Amino acid sequence: MGIGMNHFETGREWLDAPFQDGVSTPSATVISGPGGAGKPLIALGVVTSWLQAGGSVIGAPLQFPDPDFVTRAAVDLYDYDLRETGEYVHVRFDPDIDGVGHTGEGDLRSNLVDPENWDQTLDTAIESVDGGGPGILFFATALNLPLLSPTYADPLIETVGDVFDRELTSLVCVSTSMLAERARKVGDLADTLVTASVLEAPKRLQFTVERQDGEPVESESVEAPFDPALLASIQQRAEREKVVPTETIRNI
């Protein structure tokens, strides 16, 4: 992926600082770390800037099938409405259906436990966006969830690698608190690896860049400039709104 890549900068100094020349496009970035480290909240800094730059985003926050959570978090943290440009497509993770379907304008429903549904999901979403500006960004969180499937876990990791090889930019969050070895394998597939962590009392989020464009990086920890009280409020909302269909996935 390193040949002929462009670079994207968010315009947020704290987020751009540890990345030399910005995030490469197209490329694949994985944000890894324990549950509660705010990985999606950090990633939303890229997502919102990407849309503001005229790009398109396919969002699949797997633990938040209802788009309300990420939409509100983007407004709270970055003062930006993901729907503003009409270039955000939300994918609702639903392991109870067989394939992929539309649930409304800019809204899909997909069983991403089955590897065969990934290409169809992306292709369907891509058809509904312009792909201007920096291009198309695929944003996904809680990738551990479909990896709980005893049938599809290994093929899914291969499928994620195939997605990373597509001509789009991927930004994927994966938790090390669940299926740590599978999470590591997903991280190994990425061009760029970011490690997130959380500090308590008061709550603060930080991250380091471990690898960029396939090369090891020694970056200092960067603290996200979020108000601790706001973070605590968002975390409480996340606990109420997240959907984790563990048993359903383990039976697939």
* pTM exceeding 0.85: yes
Quick one: how many helices (H) and strands (E) in the chain?
Answer: 8, 13
pLDDT, one tens digit per residue, over 6-37 is 999 999 999 999 998 899 999 999 999 999 99
Question: Residue 235 in contact with residue 216, Cβ under 8 Å?
Answer: no
Q: What's the mean pLDDT in 205-226? A: 95
pLDDT at 136: 98
Question: Residue 63 in contact with residue 80, Cβ under 8 Å?
Answer: no
Q: Which residue has the tokens 């198309």?
A: 136
Q: What's the mean pLDDT in 166-171? A: 97
Cα–Cα distance, 112 to 156 (Å, whole number): 9
pLDDT, one tens digit per residue, over 180-190 is 999 999 999 99
pLDDT, one tens digit per residue, over 85-98 is 999 999 999 999 99
Q: Indicate left, alpha or beta for 219 from its phi (over 0: left) and psi (-120 to 50: alpha).
A: beta
Structural domains in the chain, sorted by start = 38-175+228-250 (3.40.50.300)
pLDDT, one tens digit per residue, over 97-155 is 999 998 878 899 999 999 999 999 999 999 999 999 999 999 999 999 999 999 999 99
Q: Helices (DSSP H) in the chain: which residue ranges? A: 13-16, 39-52, 68-78, 116-126, 153-164, 180-189, 228-241, 246-250
Cα–Cα distance, 17 to 27 (Å, whole number): 18
